[in-house]
Amino acid sequence: MIARTINRVCKDDALLTERLPINPENDDLFHACSDGMVLIHLLNHIEKDCIDMRTVNKGSNLNIYKVRENLDQAFAVAKTMIKVVGVDTTSFLDKTAYLMLGILWQLVRLLSMQTITLQDTPELFRLLQDGEDLSSLQKLKSEQILLRWLNFHLAAAGQPPAQNLGKDLADATKLIHVLH
């Protein structure tokens, strides 16, 4: 899923043509992301121009110092958006898969949450609660809208609501009811 999302979101990024598409069936993801360029582009898709591309070292044959500068810059911005604990530039340089996946998963999650809006999904008006209007629904964060959507379907299945998108979904019981 991570590789497919990167391929979809970054397909038109000219600086990534050598790295994309990433084959989701092998370890291409770790090689494509190890120099920081994919990370930088993902961050810029999450928040436009959060990294000034004029400051990024570009090219296909960067030395280790230039790559480290790119990764340091990407991590400085990533720390403002996601939890970065125990992961640093060395994790990407060494292609430590589980650490890279932890960072990439959080970024893909942020990208996915961006599409949960009334503009992109007008059917969300069905999630309005008594006494609410569309403006109050628009003020909710994407995760809150997703939780409402989940609880809307759980209620339709006669199930108790979820309080969060983490622990309450850990055993997948609620998800099974929604999928059913």
Which tokens hold the place of 179? 């999928």
Q: Is the pLDDT at 130 greater than 90, yes or no?
A: no
Q: For position 118, what pLDDT does the model report?
A: 67
Residues 30 and 95: beta-carbon distance below 8 Å: yes
Average pLDDT over residues 15-25: 91
Q: Is the pLDDT at 155 greater than 70, yes or no?
A: yes
**What are the percentages of helix, strand and coil residues in the chain, rounded to 5?**
60, 0, 40
Q: For position 165, what pLDDT does the model report?
A: 83
Q: For position 167, what pLDDT does the model report?
A: 87
Burial degree of 78 (CB within 10 A; 0-12, 13-18, 19+): buried
Residue 179: phi and psi, rounded to 5, are -65, -30
pLDDT tens for each residue of 60-98: 788 999 999 999 999 999 999 988 888 998 999 999 999
Segment among 11-20, 49-58, 107-116 with least mean pLDDT: 107-116
Question: CA angle, corner 114, sides to 111 and 116, nearest 5?
Answer: 130
Domain boundaries, the chain: 2-113, 122-179
pLDDT tens for each residue of 32-64: 999 999 999 999 999 998 999 999 999 878 899
CATH 1.10.418.10 fits 2-113, yes or no: yes
- The residue with greater pLDDT, 113 or 26, is 26
pLDDT tens for each residue of 169-180: 888 888 888 888
